[in-house]
Structure 1
Amino acid sequence: MNIIAWIILGLLAGAIAKAIVPGYQGGNWLATMVLGIVGAFIGGTLHVFIKTGSLQLAAPGLSIIGVFIAVLGAIIAIYLYGAMSRRNV
């Protein structure tokens, strides 16, 4: 997948995930794009693991299913970041 497709997929998936998850997720368009790209890798890796049973780093292509997988991965990334950044006071 070329760079332009990564940027489009990242922005689209990151924006949709931020709209779905309740609460405030800070960041500008660059943070949203990185969130979407990380989500694509998380979602793609989980998709390959569920399909084949092997753990491989993968990312979906720029399609409707690929965006759906990337959005699910970005939602997981938001929750993981939130869980790791909270402080127990």
Structure 2
Amino acid sequence: MHLSNESIIVIVLVGLIAGWLAGKIVRGAGYGLIGDIIIGIIGAFIGDWLLPRLGIHLGSGTVSSIVNATIGAIVLLLIIRLVAGGGRFGGGWGRRGR
């Protein structure tokens, strides 16, 4: 597999947009430049794995890649919120009732 500089840039931009959108939808704010990119790229892997198993096929192209990665990133953020239950994602490990 050969990745050109252009494909790496597209991957990073799709990750950035998808991570930012997922952050807005799940939490109401982004996670910063690097956080959005990481969440978006991991979300793309989750979306590529999950959506075909649910019988959802979005087609090809940049827009469908962004939608796919955004859906995967939302799933990722919801799982993190469910598991962590605290800190940046809401809830509270380490919080004491006052």
The answer to whether TM tops 0.5 is yes
Pick closer, same or farther for the CA change 1:45–1:70 going to 2, 3 Å: same
Gaps of at least 5 residues in structure 2 are 86-92
Residue 10 of structure 1 aligns to which amino acid in structure 2? G
Structure 1 runs (4+) deviating above 2 angstroms are 22-25, 47-51
User: What is the match of residue 12 of structure 2?
Assistant: 7
Computing the radius of gyration from Cα coordinates, the structure with the larger value is 2
TM-score calculated relative to the size of structure 1:
0.74
Gaps of 5+ in 1: 52-59
Seq. identity, %: 28
RMSD: 2.6
Aligned partner of 1:81 in structure 2 is 80
Letter in 1 for 2:22: A
Q: TM-score, normalised by structure 2?
A: 0.68
Residues 22-51 of structure 1: CA distance to partner in whole angstroms, max 9, x if unpaired? 4566x3210110000010000011123234
